[in-house]
Amino acid sequence: MRQSTAPHSLRWWFTLLLVLPLLAQAQDPLPSWKDGPSRKAIEDFVAAVTTEGGKDFVPEAERIAVFDNDGTLWSEQPMYFEVLFSLDEVKRLAPQHPEWKEQQPFKAVLEDDQKALSESGMQGLMNIIAATHTGMSTDEFIAQSQRWLAGAVHPRSKKPFTEMVFQPMRELLAFLRVNGFKTYIVSGGEVVFMRAFAEEVYGVPPEQVIGTTFQTEFQDKDGKLSIQRLPKFLHNDDGPGKPVSIDAIIGRRPIFAFGNSDGDLQMLQWTMAGPGKRFAGLVHHTDTTREWAYDRESKVGRLDKALDAAKKANWTVVDMAEEWNRVYPFEQN
């Protein structure tokens, strides 16, 4: 009597039903991006510039992609993370600087006087950053930055700051690299501070990290060689400073750029002003539940003029709440 193959067939179909979603997830390079206009725009652009023989094909050497960091690759609320680092450094270094007890803006930091700190304005912030970022070698500053990043946690999530990165953007960086792009960070953040974590967190090596810089000098002290960081700003890599840095350091105009604020506007404009097919994108912070919602009125990461420019020029604006399956790596997808 012939045996039925039905049980075997059912087992095969059940196995297939279980395996197919796993295979699809493994093959999906952007699992944290929902199917939507932003994902489609990214995938269509990459397909167009990497298809040999196509009218929009771009040679691999010219596939340059630039990304802002704060608010684009990781969160920036309630305050830029590098500023939080600087405030913690003031408190750590205070025993070496007894004069800070009576000297603003350091007195405000030590007393947690938010009103006085705010009144010190941008100049006060620059004084804090200069005091905590210079007067040491590059190697010493990297070590201090990494020490802080290893122990500090975000005030709201209680997660390490290096876990407050946007998982969809990390996937995008990897997706571009697989398709022959060279990915750069071009940020207003201090360049050495970002180099302390960028390769481990984003896969972006230090030579592809561009940021605000201090003046430095080579020092030979009894045969001990170092690069010393001086308390004098050399270049502010924000706003119009970004295209200047790109031109000076990369030497090629990008064909792909991503930002999130008015400080990225000139970088996006510079990218889109070149010939051929190009891509400009903005991360729009719209998620009050998983992250924050802010744009035109925010004191941190204000998105106003750049948002108007994006709508006028039809750039890609990513609605974080609607288009991302998850925001951070520690979230369940």
Taking only the tens place, the pLDDT of each residue in 249-305 is: 999 999 999 999 999 999 999 999 999 999 999 999 999 999 999 999 999 999 999
Cα dihedral across residues 17, 18, 23, 29: positive or negative: positive
pLDDT in tens, 199-246: 999 999 999 999 999 999 999 999 999 999 999 999 999 999 999 999
pLDDT in tens, 45-60: 999 999 999 999 999 9
For the whole model, what pTM was predicted? 0.91
Give all domains of the chain, ordered by start, each with its CATH number: 30-78+162-323 (3.40.50.1000)
Helices (H), the chain: 6-27, 37-50, 81-93, 106-110, 114-119, 121-133, 138-151, 167-178, 191-195, 198-202, 241-245, 265-272, 305-313, 320-323
Instruction: Give the contacts of 249 (CB within 8 A, at least 6 positions apart).
Output: 210
pLDDT in tens, 161-190: 999 999 999 999 999 999 999 999 999 999
